[in-house]
Structure 1
């Protein structure tokens, strides 16, 4: 009887978790899809809010990679295909959804600001983007050697942990230093212009459902690794 009640409670909890994941996905696209023109024109949204929403997804991907790497470290079951999917999401989502916004739109815009005292910071962040891509390339190459034994898998885990640490520091720098400065120096009209450029850049991806597809992959990986069931 007790065992039956426990199983019922467990099933309800799992259902609740899945529902939360669905809501999380919906909320993400509610904030990240092409914004209503009135919202933009009324200057209700800051450009940094869009970038912060990108980070919410990036942080989930980092957590997934961390859990997969932990499984490697502890000898728990995790497949090469799992790492392949994580790398695909990082390459296609992090680069196209976030880094390109910064490198092609935000950073060039900020460099033109008069009396910009953050040029060194922008250069640092650009170099961190380069480092992140190099780490992911290394991780991808090592993942192809996944079945070559424990040493190969240890190298995968080591590079993955390095990438995670690097990205968390990078995100913290932008959240704590770059974004507050942007909000301080940019005018409402500047934010409107940036948001419109962000939307123009990603319009095709939104319309084609590319981002929904990758968020769905993220949710599948979370379920697979039982990140929310611990």
Structure 2
């Protein structure tokens, strides 16, 4: 079945590097993006192309090439298996790590897709904000952390609404071992102090950071 072991080893190496660049932990964005920021490398072009994603895809295609070259038979079958592994394995590895070895904020899972917020004006200058944030602590230990909000995508005419919540912070959360909890944040924010007019809106998928001392996860 195996025609060339060297090609097979090369295929595994390229698959590993491709997955490592796009590994979704400890932040919501891939690990390769964090490394690029730390080293000062550009992540995206002016056209919105993601260098990390493109690099990972190219390495994965090279890995497929060597995989096919290394086998005598079952080429299509093994390509499909490789595609499935690259798509599923990183998330399963994160899930397994959080449920076994992870401690502190690294054991915390944030279900961003289930989060939501509502902003409405209580009067001319007071903004009433409500957020629902689902968390789960996969460890057996009690974990404490603070929540900070940030804007992931902000267009030219947009105002950073979620970041306004930081004005009314900090927000301290405590999760017992194996506890799953929807954290509800309710705050009134004085927009007059911020020299900002009326705001309102609602949405889902809140971007936030969980912070414990110098440890930070951007989710």
The TM-score range, normalised by the shorter chain, is under 0.3
Report which of the two structures shows the higher radius of gyration computed on alpha carbons.
2
| TM-score using structure 2 length | 0.27
Per chain length, whose mean CA-contact separation is higher, i.e. which structure has more relative contact order (CA < 8 Å, sep 6+)?
1
- Structure ranking higher in strand proportion: 2
